[in-house]
Amino acid sequence: MHKISIDAGFGCPNRSDGRAGSGCLFCDPGGSGAVGIERDLSITDQLAAGHDVMVRKYKAKRFMAYFQPFSNTFAPVARLMRDYDEALRAPDVVGLAIGTRPDCLPDEVLEMLAEYHRQTYLWLEIGLQSSHDVTLARLRRGHDYACFLDAYRRAKQQGLRVCVHVIIGLPGESRRQVLETADEMARLRIDGVKLHLLHVLRGTPLGDLYEKGEIDVLAMRDYVTLVCDVIERLHPATLIHRLTGDGPRDSLLAPLWSLNKWEVLNAIDAELERRGTQQGDRCEKGS
């Protein structure tokens, strides 16, 4: 089963008119969406195009519709249901992954998602990035950690599977702060996590700072070390959805080593083998 990323046209409360404006410090004009999304097509046609690619490349047979760019619960419930239903009617689509922000999850949306959870295979993906309010303010996220905790608690009360997004290498964050975020994820015993490498993209406020020499990025060795430190602290029951990522080649300013994704993944494996450790070994709740 493979995910097909789609853009359903949702906006974001952290942008001036929903889709325009600067948004978060790191977010590109496309809302941090996947490369290759054909945004001008309908949901059905986007899924058909992605279906053909996945079958050709991976011989995939089943698919999850991944509502990825922007905030995919930032709309009235009726609009959300219309779009989710359209995705589930597409051939061979057997589940939904819905990416959003913690401040876009009112109770009525979570209740609606719980109904889909009972009908299909569903992951709710919440962008957190850091558990530190000083970092969230620096990123211009527009919410604090308490907002995330409230949304997460209410999502779990509805029985939802939650995947939390965390970025490693954020401006101003120390190693200690990164590990404190990992410890928080272990304390919450989150269902899933996506670990992202900070990408500096052209056309973003972060990119402007980088080109002025006001921020720096992690070297590959430092990123690998931090990822392994985080893995050791995560609860062993947490499903790791992602360990790194590769930004769009035509707009990536740094770090360019991230384009060699398999080299990074192999280096993470090698470092864990060198340490003789695995996920949960340094988690206080790992037993």
Q: How far apart are CA 86 and CA 194, in angstroms?
A: 26
Summarised one tens digit per residue, pLDDT across range 167-219 is: 999 999 999 999 999 999 999 999 999 999 999 999 899 999 999 999 999 99
**DSSP character string of 73-88:** T-S-HHHHHHHHHHHH
Identify the pLDDT of residue 34. 67
**Is the pLDDT reported for residue 287 higher than 60?**
no
**Domain 2-220+239-254 fold:** TIM Barrel (3.20.20)
pLDDT tens by residue, 116-138: 999 999 999 999 999 999 999 99
Q: Report which of 249, 98, 235 is spatially closest to residue 165, judged by C-alpha positions.
A: 98
Give the pLDDT confidence of 11-60 residue by residue, as tens digits.
999 886 666 667 899 988 777 766 678 888 999 999 999 999 999 999 99
The pLDDT of residue 33 is 67
pLDDT of residue 80: 98
Residue 3's pLDDT is what?
A: 95
Give the integer Cα–Cα distance in Å for 136 and 25: 10
- What is the rounded distance in angstroms from the CA atom of residue 71 to the CA atom of residue 141? 13
pLDDT (0 to 100) of residue 27: 85
